[in-house]
Structure 1
């Protein structure tokens, strides 16, 4: 389900975000104002900023856990009893302290700017992640129960999917949007720096392909180790990483070194994600209020220190943010992006899509526009209602969810057409 959503919905969604960002040369809030001259769409940009803060609030806690385990790998502090150790350090003052350290590293990189900070850091970190993962994956093939791990990871369980379709669908959709960084405005912000002669379809496809490759490669490391040294799969999430894998390193002759390398990989990946999240509200403050980047970064560091503290000290708040709230916000955000490009930008969006694109991509421009204006946002609304109702304790039928999604999608399109009557497109350069 995850693979299908990344390729079938994620790539078209990435292209919609790219179109908004490159055509406007602005952050998510400024983009909607510049492109159409209408402040009503600023609400969607505001949703992006809220989503970014929510993401940072819980994911910085995860980054803190990873940093702590990287440091503790050198001493084997979690080797004796990984489950008890993680339960003792997952929330509280120490978790908050490590969260601040990770946020501080992220803020310093973002403070340096897009080219000197973000681009330079990711040029070093991303190849490093790939190389370390390849090394770990090759090493994992030699472990005693690696074949069982591969079978569990790569085999398809149709019966489980049938019996748990809605929960699997919601989890897969949320994970797809999260890993591709769409729905929060990250890709709108980054696309504002893309040159006009770049092919947006190629870039979107490359990002999705690399994202999937890294994710699959990570699985080829994780599951052989879980089956070889932790007795099989755990509860997933933090349990798999900080209990199952941590337990695996305790059984290895060079466990301290292997553990340090593994958590270094995960730490680098976490920081690159946090950088992209923080850049959204920073770009908003810099672009819209002409605030110095350093000042904007420090201010947001203070805000996220407060919001993040609730996640660092409370497991219930963390679970609410990580498992429900962020997925719903990302789904709403991407739905809005698609409707905006298809029905507000319309031909202008198609034009931006084709700029720099090859012959094949250009032939797909019109089908892409109408797909992101109908099929894909309806699917996202289906998952949104499914997740929302499951969160409230209801398990609705597929028929009810389809009806809700279709009615909402139709109402959105009708509202857009009504609100856009008489509004003329605003050229981004003229607005400058």
Structure 2
């Protein structure tokens, strides 16, 4: 439930509609679904194998399993990525907390777009961000059982029940048919015209919603027993994730077409502007607004908990700090880094829409390469521990796929995103060559680190 809670968060309810709207609707949805199922599930398994094999946080996992400084850097990247994620994610959490509280008075009803522009950045946004960070820190400081597991057991069923009710209500709104068409009717022409940009956005979104690439699943897997089936857990998390994401779209897009200028109105604030317009037109709008933003607030907290757990577990494991001390220190750090996002829309958009995608793609590429080429037979052994008879025939294809096809695909999307970010234009040929060469270099490094870590035979006396 903790892992599902990490996957079911603002990525599905806030970021997914935003990314879907700006990348062609159904064209984006198709690629997103394929990447979650074909790349996301094997990627989750790679992270699970590393976590359970090591019983450590990401930095400790790579340090203990490989003994190589190169791979330890990958663990440090996980800690950095989680802090960057929290830096903008907590800002959005602050927006949601404010809208939840303002639902009682309908403060955002009169002019939704103007209201969001006024409250989204600045000192007040920073104050609400701190409140969300404080709530997250209290849960994480309580520990795995009493804090994270206990809270997500309540939050996740609540999110599902409330979203289902909202989806039924949204289906009865005047623009529901248009919203469903944009969201579900496949647009092949748009996909063919914008394939690379949609591919990069879909890959980043898939990794973001599944919480892979940042070390979250390595950390959570370090707490589970050997009798758990890793393939079953990975599949369950992916299915829950897809279900919640699709359900969120069935809520948001009918409302955006019913009560907003269009699906792309407001950019990162599209959810708030469109939903606020919907609630303003209803007799029970204040109550519905409070219910909806309560759902989103719960989802935000479950994901923030998982992000904070990565650096907390790192400080507890590697420096023997008390959990409460580590949590307080990280609260102070993220208050500073997040404050920059809370005061600057330019920095916020850079973090939320571009940098995080690149870091997650790099992280998952490293996880897959490491699992396939460094752990190798040990990864197969870990995969099979607790696995059922239906999973066992998949282990060898899985190992070689995460060592070749999938990292090559991720590197392709990484280079496509980088070239777009710096304003360059590159065809699929050069991008493919760059991806393959980078993968070959990673494999060489991986195989060398394996040979260096093997004990050398002692010299025989003459």
- Range into which the TM-score falls when normalised by the shorter chain: over 0.9
Taking the aligned partners of 2:264 and 2:448, their CA distance within structure 1 comes to 51
Q: How has the CA–CA distance of structure 1 residues 104 and 112 changed in structure 2, closer, same or farther, with 3 Å as cutoff?
A: same
The partner residue of 1:243 within 273, 297, 302 is: 273
Taking the aligned partners of 2:294 and 2:175, their CA distance within structure 1 comes to 24
| Counterpart residue number, 1:297 | 327
The 3-state SS of whatever aligns with 2:390 is helix
TM-score by length of 2: 0.90
| Counterpart residue number, 1:26 | 56
| Counterpart residue number, 1:344 | 374
| Counterpart residue number, 1:219 | 249
| Counterpart residue number, 1:428 | none
Taking the aligned partners of 1:257 and 1:234, their CA distance within structure 2 comes to 26
The 3-state SS of whatever aligns with 1:421 is helix
Taking the aligned partners of 2:400 and 2:173, their CA distance within structure 1 comes to 49
Taking the aligned partners of 2:350 and 2:259, their CA distance within structure 1 comes to 31
| Counterpart residue number, 2:384 | 354
Shift of 1:354: 0.8
Shift of 1:100: 0.2
| Counterpart residue number, 2:284 | 254
Matching of residue 409 in structure 1 with residue 457 in structure 2: no
| Counterpart residue number, 1:187 | 217
The 3-state SS of whatever aligns with 1:234 is coil
Taking the aligned partners of 1:229 and 1:253, their CA distance within structure 2 comes to 15
The 3-state SS of whatever aligns with 1:359 is coil
Superposed CA deviations along residues 248-279 of structure 1, whole A, max 9, x for unmatched, are 11111111111111111111101101000000
| Counterpart residue number, 1:369 | 399
Superposed CA deviations along residues 304-323 of structure 1, whole A, max 9, x for unmatched, are 01100110000111111111
Taking the aligned partners of 2:45 and 2:59, their CA distance within structure 1 comes to 18
The 3-state SS of whatever aligns with 1:80 is coil
| Counterpart residue number, 2:208 | 178
The partner residue of 1:264 within 284, 287, 294 is: 294
Matching of residue 154 in structure 1 with residue 184 in structure 2: yes
The partner residue of 1:322 within 338, 342, 352 is: 352
Aligned length: 425
The 3-state SS of whatever aligns with 1:364 is helix
Report if aligned partners of 1:282, 1:300 keep a CA contact under 8 Å in 2: yes
The 3-state SS of whatever aligns with 1:76 is coil
Taking the aligned partners of 1:32 and 1:266, their CA distance within structure 2 comes to 34
Matching of residue 234 in structure 1 with residue 274 in structure 2: no
TM-score by length of 1: 0.97
Matching of residue 163 in structure 1 with residue 193 in structure 2: yes
| Counterpart residue number, 1:429 | none
RMSD: 1.1
| Counterpart residue number, 1:390 | 420
| Counterpart residue number, 1:424 | 454
Shift of 1:236: 6.4
Q: How has the CA–CA distance of structure 1 residues 236 and 162 changed in structure 2, closer, same or farther, with 3 Å as cutoff?
A: farther
| Counterpart residue number, 1:203 | 233
Taking the aligned partners of 2:73 and 2:181, their CA distance within structure 1 comes to 46
Q: How has the CA–CA distance of structure 1 residues 263 and 421 changed in structure 2, closer, same or farther, with 3 Å as cutoff?
A: same
Report if aligned partners of 1:36, 1:424 keep a CA contact under 8 Å in 2: no
Taking the aligned partners of 1:239 and 1:314, their CA distance within structure 2 comes to 14
| Counterpart residue number, 2:315 | 285
Taking the aligned partners of 1:301 and 1:422, their CA distance within structure 2 comes to 39
The partner residue of 1:106 within 124, 131, 136 is: 136
